[in-house]
Chain A
Amino acid sequence: MSEFITGIVKNISLLHLNVLLLLGLALFGGTIGGRLFQRFKIPQVVGYIVIGLAIGQTGIHLIGTDSLKAFDPFNSFALGLIGFMIGGELKLGTLKKYGKQFLAILFMEALTAAVFVGILAAVAGYFLFHNIPLAVSFGLLLGSISAATAAAGTTDVLWEYKARGPLTTTLLGIVALDDIVALVLFAITANICGVLLGRSSGGVGVELAKLGYEVGVAAVLGGLAGFGLAKLLKKFKDEDKTLTFSIGGILFVLGVSVALGVDMILASMLIGVIMTNVAPRRSQEVFSMLERMSSPIFVLFFVLVGAKLDLSQLSLPLIILAAAYLVGRTGGKILGARLGGKMSRALSSVTKYLPLCLFSQSGVAFGLAIIASQRFPNEIGNAVIIIITATTFVVQLAGPPFIKHAVIKANEAGLNVTEEDLLKTSTAGEIVDPALPSIDANMSIKRVLNVFSSHDAFCYPVVDPGKKLVGVLTIETLKETFMAQELSDLLLAHDIMETPPATCGPESTLAEAEEKMRHFRVEYIPVVDGGGAVKGVIEQRGIGKAISRKMIELQERAAALG
């Protein structure tokens, strides 16, 4: 009996409850961490990772290696979503506009970082180990891995700060594509290392063919799925099906990619690219829907990234190599991006600030480090993992604030907002018309008509002699007096005004104001400040107008940047 109970307890605590508890903990802890860091003006993603560190391999081991493994499919899903959403940013028009710049900056930043890291790591390796093939191998492997930039850590900051403009576009293009550069470089250098370390499995040709298969099949798979999904979504328009089909499609492609052993991020990215170009309007709905639901997925993903890092295995030689890697990569990315920008005559904001945005690394770098550790066990494989882990920790913490700084300096923050965002951030006080007159309760209808005819509003506040709000006059009620014009001297505003069911303060957001209007089924809401003074009335149509004016203004500002 007691065995039975112990068995149950063990099962529950290890398998079911633990995973759920961990999910809950990770989400809550991560979100709280993110909020805390946000308060200190540090991007939330840093907070997620720090919470991950605290509960993971570096900290209190709340998440064990087994659980981390169990979350692998989830991580793939999150990466797939990120890939898909980045793909959605790659619109053909934009690519055409910036294509040349993309390529120049892409190759310069990726290759310069790889060369710098390669040289520094090889030199450091030689002094540490006095073994030339080993030192060169370190240089080659770390160099190729350093080319990659984390899409996840980067896009998260861009989304948090609602960035839009040429810097943002270029950055998105580059983080999407330099992973491919890293993959190609790694495939080549890993083979050279194989020769150097006497562990070659096949020729360079075989490896290249393998790479071609991984990239080619992924592209075809993602492309086909993108076309299919776009067609499907044109047929089924309701929200539930849109979301379900999209996520289903992404999961399907991720699964097939894993089964075929091809690059799944590239595949999901291509779904996004195809959809956004084949069915731009429909896919916009998909992307905004995913954006709304993706927040918990990304929080969890970054907490798990942090949890995976084990910083306790750092030894002095590895710290030196890691430092060499960091210096080389940071210097290479900065210099390369700047040169690439200059060469391709990119906008000055891009040349100036893009170099600050390329420090993040995670998914692909980790993946390559893990592949390295499988191909070269013992000697340098584990060292590569630890170095990448440690440096990932540093750049993931230090990288996002630089991106934030860059998008703000380039004036691109806050330009990529939706109407919903604007409703939540704009206040009633901002859009209320200060020139809108109040109507005195004892004003005759004749004079009220004059007020209506000399202003654009359909609704006015009515105030008593003490200037306190007593009602509102709408054009609807005014219309009812038209049939009795002989009364226009007898009737007062007081006689026909409506009592407003609700009011809002100047600090109320437009979203709150709209919610109240919807709740009381009215098209207006008076704005009254804390002291009871009437600030005016906002109308449903006025909100719509103000929001679209703001959207156009933001779009124009983004367009004016380049």
Chain B
Amino acid sequence: MDFISSIDRQCILLLTEKTKNEALIKMTEAAARAGGVTDRERLVKDILYREQLMSTGIGLGIAVPHVRFDQIKKPLIAVGVQPAGIQGYGSIDDVPIKIIVMILVGSNQHKEHIRLLSQAVSFLKSDHVIARLVAARSADDVCAVFTESRHE
């Protein structure tokens, strides 16, 4: 189970939303469509509930929202980039969030959940990757960052 191969092309978005909730809802709905989730409302609720427990902003303008959801069959990753930054995400360092990597796995995919989260976090540790993602001007630009890194 590889992090990059789990990213769905349909779920790579260049975000224009200004608030955390709007951005997360937009990404969740895209992911729901791609993952064949019928109960979108509940998925949105689960994502937002998780944020209530503790923000998934991990600092340096990056957030990794993640949930386990029963209607997800195969792990699914959505990526959203908002170059302008989202204020008030509640990240540990309070830096506005520019990159959101959303991880959705099935209810029983404990191992996949942890592995994907771990891979995502280490992938986003590279300053080079962060800079390229933030500089992206289209969804294709974002996609290129991931596909190219694959060949590196």
Taking beta carbons and an 8 Å cutoff, which residues of A are in contact with B?
A: 441-442, 444, 477, 480-481, 483-484, 486-487, 490-492, 494-496, 499
- B107: chain A residues at CB < 8 Å are 499
- A441: chain B residues at CB < 8 Å are 53
Contact of B114 with A481 in the complex, beta carbons under 8 Å:
yes
From residue 57 to 116 of chain B, which have CB atoms closer than 8 A to chain A? Answer: 58, 64, 66-68, 107, 110-111, 113-115
Contact of B53 with A484 in the complex, beta carbons under 8 Å:
no
- A484: chain B residues at CB < 8 Å are 114-115, 117-118
Contact of A494 with B56 in the complex, beta carbons under 8 Å:
no
**Given A484-B117, A490-B117, A495-B113, 17 additional A-B pairs, CB 8 A:** A441-B53, A442-B53, A480-B110, A483-B114, A483-B118, A484-B114, A484-B115, A487-B117, A487-B118, A490-B58, A490-B64, A490-B121, A491-B117, A494-B50, A495-B66, A495-B67, A495-B68
Q: What separation, in Å, do the CA atoms of A279 and B58 have in the docked complex?
A: 68
- Could you list some 25 contacts between A and B, CB below 8 A? A442-B53, A442-B54, A444-B54, A477-B110, A480-B110, A480-B111, A481-B114, A484-B117, A484-B118, A486-B122, A487-B114, A487-B117, A487-B121, A490-B56, A490-B58, A490-B117, A491-B117, A492-B50, A494-B53, A495-B66, A495-B113, A496-B110, A496-B113, A496-B114, A499-B107
- A477: chain B residues at CB < 8 Å are 110
Contact of B54 with A480 in the complex, beta carbons under 8 Å:
no
Q: What separation, in Å, do the CA atoms of A85 and B111 have in the docked complex?
A: 56
For B118, give the chain A residue with the smallest CB separation: A484
- Kindly provide the distance from the CB of B119 to the nearest chain A CB, expressed in whole angstroms: 9
For B107, give the chain A residue with the smallest CB separation: A499
- Kindly provide the distance from the CB of B19 to the nearest chain A CB, expressed in whole angstroms: 22
- B110: chain A residues at CB < 8 Å are 477, 480, 496
Q: What separation, in Å, do the CA atoms of A263 and B113 have in the docked complex?
A: 75
- Kindly provide the distance from the CB of B105 to the nearest chain A CB, expressed in whole angstroms: 10
- A492: chain B residues at CB < 8 Å are 50, 53-54
Contact of A486 with B53 in the complex, beta carbons under 8 Å:
no
- B58: chain A residues at CB < 8 Å are 490
From residue 22 to 41 of chain B, which have CB atoms closer than 8 A to chain A? Answer: none
From residue 109 to 145 of chain B, which have CB atoms closer than 8 A to chain A? Answer: 110-111, 113-115, 117-118, 121-122
Q: What separation, in Å, do the CA atoms of A10 and B64 have in the docked complex?
A: 86
For B122, give the chain A residue with the smallest CB separation: A486
- A490: chain B residues at CB < 8 Å are 56, 58, 64, 117, 121
- Kindly provide the distance from the CB of B104 to the nearest chain A CB, expressed in whole angstroms: 12
Contact of B54 with A486 in the complex, beta carbons under 8 Å:
no
- B121: chain A residues at CB < 8 Å are 486-487, 490
Contact of B118 with A480 in the complex, beta carbons under 8 Å:
no
- Kindly provide the distance from the CB of B18 to the nearest chain A CB, expressed in whole angstroms: 25
- B114: chain A residues at CB < 8 Å are 480-481, 483-484, 487, 491, 496
For B57, give the chain A residue with the smallest CB separation: A490
For B116, give the chain A residue with the smallest CB separation: A484
Q: What separation, in Å, do the CA atoms of A481 and B111 have in the docked complex?
A: 8
Residues 40-58 of B, flagged 1 when their CB comes within 8 A of A and 0 if not, give 0000000000100110101
Q: What separation, in Å, do the CA atoms of A61 and B37 have in the docked complex?
A: 73
Residue among A442, A477, A483, A495 facing the most chain B CB atoms (10 A cut-off):
A495
- A496: chain B residues at CB < 8 Å are 110, 113-114
Q: What separation, in Å, do the CA atoms of A494 and B48 have in the docked complex?
A: 13
- Kindly provide the distance from the CB of B144 to the nearest chain A CB, expressed in whole angstroms: 27
- A481: chain B residues at CB < 8 Å are 114
- A444: chain B residues at CB < 8 Å are 54
Q: What separation, in Å, do the CA atoms of A480 and B113 have in the docked complex?
A: 10
Contact of A486 among B64, B115, B118 (CB under 8 A): B118
Q: What separation, in Å, do the CA atoms of A444 and B92 have in the docked complex?
A: 14
Q: What separation, in Å, do the CA atoms of A446 and B110 have in the docked complex?
A: 17
Residue among B56, B67, B68 facing the most chain A CB atoms (10 A cut-off):
B68
Q: What separation, in Å, do the CA atoms of A444 and B55 have in the docked complex?
A: 12
For A442, give the chain B residue with the smallest CB separation: B53
Q: What separation, in Å, do the CA atoms of A494 and B53 have in the docked complex?
A: 8
- A483: chain B residues at CB < 8 Å are 114-115, 118
Q: What separation, in Å, do the CA atoms of A491 and B58 have in the docked complex?
A: 11
- B56: chain A residues at CB < 8 Å are 490
- A480: chain B residues at CB < 8 Å are 110-111, 114
- B117: chain A residues at CB < 8 Å are 484, 487, 490-491
Q: What separation, in Å, do the CA atoms of A444 and B58 have in the docked complex?
A: 14
- Kindly provide the distance from the CB of B100 to the nearest chain A CB, expressed in whole angstroms: 14
For B50, give the chain A residue with the smallest CB separation: A494
Q: What separation, in Å, do the CA atoms of A487 and B113 have in the docked complex?
A: 11
Q: What separation, in Å, do the CA atoms of A364 and B100 have in the docked complex?
A: 89
- Kindly provide the distance from the CB of B65 to the nearest chain A CB, expressed in whole angstroms: 11
- Kindly provide the distance from the CB of A501 to the nearest chain B CB, expressed in whole angstroms: 12
Shortest 5 CB-CB contacts between residues of A and residues of B: A442-B53, A484-B118, A484-B114, A442-B54, A480-B110
Q: What separation, in Å, do the CA atoms of A495 and B117 have in the docked complex?
A: 11
For B49, give the chain A residue with the smallest CB separation: A494
Q: What separation, in Å, do the CA atoms of A495 and B64 have in the docked complex?
A: 13
- Kindly provide the distance from the CB of B86 to the nearest chain A CB, expressed in whole angstroms: 18
Q: What separation, in Å, do the CA atoms of A490 and B98 have in the docked complex?
A: 18
- B67: chain A residues at CB < 8 Å are 495
- Kindly provide the distance from the CB of B49 to the nearest chain A CB, expressed in whole angstroms: 8
For A484, give the chain B residue with the smallest CB separation: B118
Residue among B67, B118, B122 facing the most chain A CB atoms (10 A cut-off):
B118
Q: What separation, in Å, do the CA atoms of A442 and B90 have in the docked complex?
A: 15
